[in-house]
């Protein structure tokens, strides 16, 4: 079977930033075909060229460079047919010298590299330096088949792209504190978000009363204030689940809630559409006599199950439902599901009694009035976060060397 290796690296900053995408493989395989195709299929503004250390001296394995950005002037051409071309070639030669590329593959392999050069880049030394380092790193990663599955799973939800202002949060490191903005005042909800401490542990919930008053557009307003936060639209859907999931999705919610009292067919459609849209489908078991029976009847598991004691029931001395036992049984039911189904509890949780929840492996603690009616919102939130196991932020104890390639047999 012919070799087909893929590598990528982004290094540098400002307009001289370098981004390399490359393929390494046999001349007789798909990479060889791509290499030959690139050389004979010229396109305006994206003329492929061989990497050369200097004119008349190309490295081995041979590399063809394909510009990612359209070349529109001789000045643009001079950056790619110059510092970038030489830098990429030098990186290949150095990888051979270091023993990264086996000598017996020098005449068998070829490399196809897509190279990014910003039209407004000016500093040729930086263009050379960044493209050399990015090419060398991309080759090393390709040969090492970086990243490993473990690395990808560790990074996919914590990562933020340096050229993108958007991050889609996921619930990957519980426990979390979900703050229910139930008071039907949008200005009040926004003021609570503004007063809150910044923490990866916080989930914001557009509560049912807030949505009933302002519609799902309330989620859009919360998003403006909590740009990268995980936001739940608590619609408590009972019917037409597909329609309400789409409404929440269009409003930029990360999750949407259906009531466990809904018909099984409605819940199945709700969860199917949430999965199709790529947002969390949550089922709230408030007033459901047998949550396990409902879950067993579903065709697919929800992302989150809420064991919920309603506000009107909080004054009752006894509860028919042992929520801790139910949570244990839910986790056992879904023990083979990946990522795991999360369990949340709501109703009467305070910093003083939340220890019982964490001991019973609750993933999300939902709190409303303790925080939203507090005269010191930040302190009230910190009371919960500080009592949670683990650090308040995902990367609080992360060191710079952990950013990339750690544990991947790379220097």
In this structure, of 126-140, 164-178, 328-342, the range with the lowest mean pLDDT score is 164-178
Q: Mean pLDDT over residues 50-71, rounded?
A: 96
Q: Mean pLDDT over residues 170-184, rounded?
A: 94
Instruction: Tell me if residue 395 falls in helix, strand or coil.
Output: coil
CB neighbour class for 214 (10 Å; exposed up to 12, middle 13-18, buried from 19):
middle
Alpha-carbon span 378 to 198, nearest angstrom: 10
In this structure, of 56-70, 109-123, 166-180, 256-270, the range with the lowest mean pLDDT score is 166-180
pLDDT of residue 406: 59
Confidence of residue 403 (pLDDT cuts 50, 70, 90): low
Q: How many residues does the chain have?
A: 411
pLDDT of residue 398: 58
Among residues 219, 213, 228, 298, the alpha carbon closest in space to that of 260 is found at 298
Confidence of residue 9 (pLDDT cuts 50, 70, 90): very high
Q: Is 46 a catalytic residue?
A: no
277 has pLDDT over 90: yes
Alpha-carbon span 224 to 231, nearest angstrom: 11
Q: Mean pLDDT over residues 193-206, rounded?
A: 95
Marked catalytic residue, from 19, 46, 118, 161: 19
CA angle 44, 48, 54 (to 5 degrees): 130
Alpha-carbon span 71 to 56, nearest angstrom: 23
pLDDT of residue 321: 56
pLDDT of residue 401: 46
Among residues 8, 4, 53, 5, the alpha carbon closest in space to that of 30 is found at 4
Paired with 26 in beta bridges are 109
Tokens of 35: 């290499």
251 has pLDDT over 90: yes
Where do the domains of the chain lie, and which CATH numbers do they carry? 4-148 (3.30.230.60), 176-385 (3.20.20.70)
Q: Mean pLDDT over residues 208-221, rounded?
A: 97
The Cβ of residue 309 has, within 10 Å, a number of other Cβ atoms equal to: 18
Instruction: With beta carbons less than 8 A apart as the criterion, state whether 89 and 59 touch.
Output: yes
């Amino acid at each position: 079977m012919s070799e087909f290796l893929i590598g990528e690296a982004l290094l540098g900053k400002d307009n001289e930033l370098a981004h390399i995408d490359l393929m390494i493989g046999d001349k007789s395989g798909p990479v060889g075909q791509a290499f030959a195709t690139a050389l004979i299929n010229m396109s305006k503004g994206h003329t492929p060229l061989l990497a050369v250390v200097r004119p008349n001296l190309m490295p081995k394995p041979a590399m063809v460079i394909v510009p990612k950005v359209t070349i529109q002037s001789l000045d643009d051409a001079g950056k790619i047919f110059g510092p970038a071309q030489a830098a990429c070639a030098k990186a290949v030669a150095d990888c051979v010298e270091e023993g990264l590329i086996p000598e017996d593959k020098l005449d068998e392999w070829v490399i196809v590299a897509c190279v990014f050069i910003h039209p407004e880049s000016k500093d040729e030394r930086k263009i050379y330096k960044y493209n050399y380092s990015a090419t060398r790193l991309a080759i090393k990663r390709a040969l090492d088949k970086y990243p490993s599955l473990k690395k990808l799973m560790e990074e996919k939800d914590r990562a933020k792209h340096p050229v993108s202002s958007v991050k889609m949060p996921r619930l990957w490191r519980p426990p979390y504190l979900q703050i229910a903005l139930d008071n039907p005042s949008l200005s009040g909800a926004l003021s609570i978000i503004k007063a809150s401490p910044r923490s990866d542990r916080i989930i914001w919930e557009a509560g049912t009363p807030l949505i009933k008053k302002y519609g799902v557009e309330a989620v859009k307003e919360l998003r403006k204030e909590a740009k990268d936060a995980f936001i739940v639209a608590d619609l408590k859907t009972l019917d037409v689940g597909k329609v309400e999931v789409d409404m929440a999705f269009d409003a930029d919610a990360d999750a949407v809630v259906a009531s466990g009292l809904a018909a099984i067919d409605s819940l199945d459609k709700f969860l199917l559409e949430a999965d199709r849209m790529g947002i969390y489908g949550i089922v709230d078991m408030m007033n459901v006599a047998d949550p396990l029976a409902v879950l067993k009847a579903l065709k697919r598991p929800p992302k989150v199950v809420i064991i919920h004691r309603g506000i009107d029931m909080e004054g009752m001395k006894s509860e028919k439902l042992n929520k801790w036992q139910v949570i244990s049984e839910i986790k056992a039911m879904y023990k083979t599901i990946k990522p795991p189904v999360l369990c949340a509890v709501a109703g009467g949780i305070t910093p003083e009694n939340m220890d019982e929840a964490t001991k019973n492996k609750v993933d999300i603690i939902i709190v409303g009035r303790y925080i939203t009616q507090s005269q010191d919102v930040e302190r009230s939130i910190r009371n919960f976060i500080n009592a949670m196991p683990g650090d308040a932020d995902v990367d609080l104890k992360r060191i710079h060397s952990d950013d990339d390639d750690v544990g991947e047999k790379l220097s």
